[in-house]
Amino acid sequence: MSSTVSTAFGDLRGTDHDGITSFLGVPYAAPLTTANRLRPPQAPQPWTGIRTADRYGPTATQNSYAPPYSDLFVEPKIDGAEQLNVNIWSPDSSGQAPVLVWIHGGAFAHGAGSLPQYDGSSFARNGVVCVTINYRLGIEGFLDLGDDDANIGLRDQIAALSWVRDNIAVFGGDPNRVTVAGQSAGAMSIGALLSSPSATGLFHGAILQSGACHQTISRDTAKVVGAHLAEQLEISADRESFAQVDSDRSLAELATLETSLQTAPDFAKFREAAANMMPMSPSIDGNVIPQPPLDAVSQGSAEKVPLLIGTNLDENMLFLSPSGAIDAIDEDTLRASIAGYGITDVESALELYTVDADRRPGRTLAALATDWMFRIPAARLAEAQHQAHGGPTFMYEFAWQSRALDGCLAACHSVEIPFVFNTLDEDGSDLLTGPAPQELADEVHQAWIAFIRDGAPGWRPYSPDDRAVQRFNTSTQTITDPRSESRKLWNGIR
């Protein structure tokens, strides 16, 4: 069975299955050629006849994950120039359903909207039009040379949201009820979009999973990164020169820089990029991002936008445990890391973050780094939105412990995604979760649907006076101000 819709660029034939219709690999911008590979997205090209949209489109140019992460994440790789595409799952093309637009994560260097875990069928079965997008990554997406074309990856996201606004009605979606959601770099992207005048009015609610407003870099730092890459590639530091470099060569040089920031970061040279360990990330370019996003939110840039923000209990276990790095961290390294984060009371930090069941220094560092990278920025965003009298903010914590790899991942980064999409049975989900409770997936999925539909997920809003957090686990409950002492430790630091 198939259904056909008419967009502004031509007719599309989708695929009907179990009461929903999917349209895959639909271009929202022009194909990427050498001339526009590092330039802002251009309007998609119209087509004649009926275009069949029954398979995922090309994925953004990127490196593969290195082991052991290549064993934990499914990575679709599809070649082609039409990398800027969307996938849509619709319950009824004649309806006016709320819309979810998903921005994938991957440290601004990996990922695609076509991962099996992002299949939008369950959202569609529950009355939500689900859209997943691709955007440019790495050098092609986030190179900032001090010119007018920085933040290409964010511009891609804005172009996709603009396409949704202009076309989603023919897929049964309501353009006035769009919620943008993302995880990790996807959530960090949304933190930037909340501050961007270019994105104003393109979405009406936002879900940020394991990412907030802190992971932007200054323009000066971005230019240092760009100049370093140009020097290593032996080219001039301009877009035309970067566009002429073979993609494999650019990717190899980016991988070298990423590895150096992870193993022996040069903080004096790369500053925030070294601290975040992401050389390619959104920059405060004065245009797409006029100022630090958290400052903009506190001034009202996200006025009237309801937010759902949260983190996983043990985010950084993903980055330290599978590789064995957690066992290489000794007491001296731990103490130096605590001081490096700007904490002067090292003893209090050790007391707060040591996990009684696992007192290894690496486990303590994982707990502390989880707060620095994820939990504290999420709380800061919630507080900024409250300060600006913005839309209501709801906070969650995903605490269910993964059964994969003999449980060493705990409630790590990314483990919540197949619960949110209700895709525990999809190919590759169990690589990160192991055997997982369907009942919890149903509960999390329904909370997300309620927020997308009504702007409220089912628990009370967060405020500085009542720091309500919904903790998802085999026994879910609303708790107040979890780990208040660690929150106080970061005052004035993060």
Q: What is the pLDDT of residues 67-93, one digit of tens each?
A: 999 999 988 999 999 999 999 999 998
Q: What is the pLDDT of residues 150-188, one digit of tens each?
A: 999 999 999 999 999 999 999 999 999 999 999 999 999
Query: CA nearest 86: which of 135, 152, 126?
Result: 135
Q: 3-state DSSP call for residue 265?
A: coil
Parts of the chain belonging to CATH 3.40.50.1820: 4-219+281-305, 309-489
Query: Which residues fall within 8 angstroms of residue 295, CB to CB, at 6 or more apart?
Result: 195
Query: CA nearest 397: which of 482, 334, 474, 295?
Result: 482
Measured N-to-C along each axis, helices 267-276 and 247-263 cross at an angle, to the nearest 10 degrees, of 100
Q: What is the Cα–Cα distance from 426 to 32, expressed in whole angstroms? A: 30
Q: Which residues pair with 183 in a beta bridge?
A: 209
Query: Which residues fall within 8 angstroms of residue 20, CB to CB, at 6 or more apart?
Result: 89, 90, 91, 121, 124, 125
Superfamily of segment(s) 4-219+281-305: Alpha/Beta hydrolase fold, catalytic domain (3.40.50.1820)
Question: Which DSSP state fits 328?
Answer: G
Q: For the residues 398-406, what does the mean pLDDT come to?
A: 98
Supply the pLDDT for residue 440. 98
Q: Which amino acid is at 58?
A: P
Q: 3-state DSSP call for residue 456?
A: coil
- pTM, full prediction: 0.98
The alpha-helical segments, DSSP class H, found in 73-218 are 121-125, 138-142, 152-167, 185-193
Dihedrals φ, ψ of 16, to 5°?
A: -90, 135
Q: What is the pLDDT of residues 185-238, one digit of tens each?
A: 999 999 999 999 999 999 999 999 999 999 999 999 999 999 999 999 999 999
Architecture of domain 309-489: 3-Layer(aba) Sandwich (3.40)
Angle at 404 (CA atoms; ends 403, 405), nearest 5 degrees: 120
Cβ(327)–Cβ(364) below 8 Å: no
Asked whether residue 2 carries a pLDDT value surpassing 80, the answer given is no
Q: What is the Cα–Cα distance from 272 to 400, expressed in whole angstroms? A: 31
Active site amino acids:
184, 315, 413
